Amino acid sequence: VVSTQSTEAVVSTQSTGIGGGKGGCVFDPKGKSDSEVRMLCEHFMKGLYRHIGPNLDVPAGDIGVGGREIGYMYGEYVRLRGQPDMGVLTGKSTDFGGSKLRPEATGYGLVYITLEALKKYNHYRYLPEDRRAGVAENCFKGLKVLISGSGNVAQFAAEKVMELGGNVCSFSDSTGTLTSAEGFSEEQLKELFHLKNVKRGRLSAMSDGDGLEYHTGKSVWELGLTCDVALPCATQNEIQLEGAKNLAAGGCWCVAEGANMPTTNEAVDYLKTKVDIYIPAKAANAGGVATSALEMAQNSARLFWSSEEVDEKLKGIMTNIFATAYKTAQDFDRPWDLQFGANAAGFLKVYKAYKAMGYLKF
């Protein structure tokens, strides 16, 4: 899994101007105290600190690693080195060199690139008359969106979708799925943020909420729910072939991946024959690494950009990623095959760089 994710990261990060890789440790944080998590982070950094640096390798958060864990690791790094070096990690708190919108970046970026695809596809032509008003200008307005996961990516993708007028109808965690037929309200989303980020509880605790239904042991993609757009934001291989068939049967016509490789190969092959828009993770979830690059730039220049500045730069990066994948697919006579476009664009950039540096002899 790690080697596969590493290869994926190398290709996907080419659009942001930095390199990529994957790594981690075997540790289940569920049920662990803050002290236990802190001790794990400190021991992990003791083995890692000699191999990282602002011009060497800059780790960032991922599954199970958020601002708390980054803070613990950075604190241990400073103790071990005897001096601060803010550029050594990204995803830091804004209290010590972090960037505005870093926690939101992957989720927001996912929605921004999906928005670009929806604009390009003019999807509103396929909506019922009563749902078309204003959709050409605001492509998420009135759309029914299924989201899996309930971590950073899922939370902030949902926040941005709702801000743009879409209806978010699901979240999930490792114990089940929470759904709302009419879409979660802003109050319910705030409750979910508090449950996951402060209480660190399970979604089942919200099962008695108004209009909410909890499905124990079920993933979003097993339930056969109807939707316009699916945003898988949980984990690798969460959408398998049966889940893809459920999405197609439920009227889904757009899938954009927020998690790393959340769809199995056979499910991808099936979806590409059934949905109008499929945006692979290497393009769709690049917002996080893009904002890590922006955090590194701020650390290097000793600057601190406002939320508005970071958001504008993030939108520009995601717009460019979509345009590059779309154009590359067109150039190879594969229109709207954004998976091929994103893969080809990434591999071509790596190939050209290797050749220019003399690593390739052909």
Write out the two tokens for 210.
């108004």
62: tokens are 């991922």
Distance CA 44, CA 66 (A): 15
Instruction: Find tokens 């890590």 and name the residue.
Output: 292
H-helix or E-strand containing 230?
strand 229-231
Locus of tokens 């197609």: 248
Helices (H), the chain: 2-12, 34-48, 67-81, 105-121, 152-163, 186-194, 241-249, 265-274, 281-284, 287-301, 307-331, 338-356
> Which residues are designated catalytic?
22
Cα–Cα distance measured from residue 88 to residue 76, given in angstroms and rounded to the nearest whole number? 12
Are the beta carbons of 220 and 194 closer than 8 angstroms? no
DSSP string for residues in 251-293: T--EEE--SSS-B-HHHHHHHHHH-SEEE-HHHHTTHHHHHHH
Backbone angles phi, psi at 214, to 5 degrees: -105, 135
Tell me if 328 sits within 8 A of 341, measured CB to CB. Answer: yes
Q: How wide is the angle at C-alpha 239 spanned by C-alphas 315 and 334, nearest 5°?
A: 60
